[in-house]
Amino acid sequence: MTESVKIGNIQIEKGSRLVLIAGPCVIESEKIVLHTCEKIKEITAKLKIPFIFKSSYSKANRLSAESYSGPGMSKGLEILEKVKREFEVLILTDIHNPDEAVPVSEVADVLQVPAFLCRQTDLVLAAAKTGKAVNLKKGQFMAPEDMGSIAEKIESVGNHNILLTERGTFFGYHNLVVDMRSLVIMRNLGYPVVFDATHSLQLPGSGGGFSGGQPQFIFPLVRAAVACGCDALFIETHPDVENALCDKDSMLPLEKLEELLVQVIEIDKVVKEKIGVARLVSRQS
């Protein structure tokens, strides 16, 4: 286990500055991706929040064959590489089979294992063997304490740069619920924890051939997660959510991102001050 993960010049650990992982759900066009990254970087630079850009070249777990799933790995990586070069940002994207791990690692700084695939040993090990940081999303069917066993698979090949992400748990059909205890439990396993604000409020399959969502809960859930001491936030955001091609019912409108971050910075400051006091008392005792 590791209490700290270093990704480029960003340190993710208990007590450090809150980190933002954000971007559109999936790559729709080079123009949208570049525009979104530029705006997020402006906001995070202004607020002094470390930022990792996220977008997917493929969304393999679509309910309907008619759902937009992305431009594919080759074109998608080309666009992500341009984003990385133009804006000098770190990149996170997900992989769906072991063969994708190596080529994706040549562009991405963090390889993400999707929630539905978190127990797939070959996929997890392939991501781990690249040496890049791995973001493990907790499956909607997984107990938080069981994520330790999956993290151990990554450590078994010598990779200790592991993030664990909470993204909601099945709560009957077409619904998810976030158990905030999960963030504390996974943090106590010894790994930095991330809260995925936008997937956590999805209503899987409720839109017929696609997932619905309850974006009105993004703000309160993010505030709660930061109060629980999460180390990073994962937020899918888009400049025009009404016309987004993927997960439009759960993404945060880009124009609301700064307002949200301003709120949680204040909460995070209080939480980190309490952590600092606790550490000082511990050293003095």
- Residue-level pLDDT at 63: 61
Six token digits for residue 52: 């990792």
Q: Any alpha helices (H) in 14-162, and if so which ranges?
A: 30-47, 73-87, 101-105, 121-129, 147-155
Q: Residue 64 has what pLDDT? A: 65
Q: What is the pLDDT of residue 247?
A: 87
The Cα 113–Cα 134 span in angstroms is 7
Q: What is the pTM of this model?
A: 0.94
The pLDDT score that the predictor gives to residue 118 is 97
Q: Is 215 helix (H, G, I), strand (E, B) or coil?
A: helix
SS3 helix, strand, coil % of the chain, rounded to 5? 45, 20, 35
pLDDT of residue 280: 40
b/e map of 146-174 (b: 16 or more CB within 10 Å)? bbbebbebbeeeebbbbbbbbbbbeeeee
* Count of alpha carbons within 13 angstroms of residue 224, beta-carbon side: 15
4-284 topology per CATH: TIM Barrel (3.20.20)
Those residues with Cβ within 8 angstroms of residue 75's Cβ, 6 or more apart along the chain or in another chain: 27, 57
Q: What is residue 285's predicted lDDT score, i.e. its pLDDT?
A: 47
Dihedral sign for Cα atoms in the order 46, 48, 53, 54: negative
156, 126 Cβ separation under 8 angstroms: no
Distance between CA atoms of 56 and 77, rounded to whole angstroms? 9
- Residues 6+ positions from 45 with CB-CB distance below 8 Å: none
Positive or negative CA dihedral for 32, 235, 40, 103? negative
Between CA 142 and CA 232 the distance in angstroms is 20
Q: Which residues of the chain have pLDDT under 70?
A: 1, 62-66, 205-210, 275-285
Nearest to 145 by CA among 124, 169, 126, 161: 169
Domain ranges of the chain: 4-284
Please give the pLDDT value at position 273.
87
Residues whose CB falls within 8 Å of the CB of residue 203, separated by 6 or more in sequence, listed in order: 174, 175, 176, 211, 212, 213, 214, 249
φ/ψ of 47, rounded to 5, equals: -95, 0
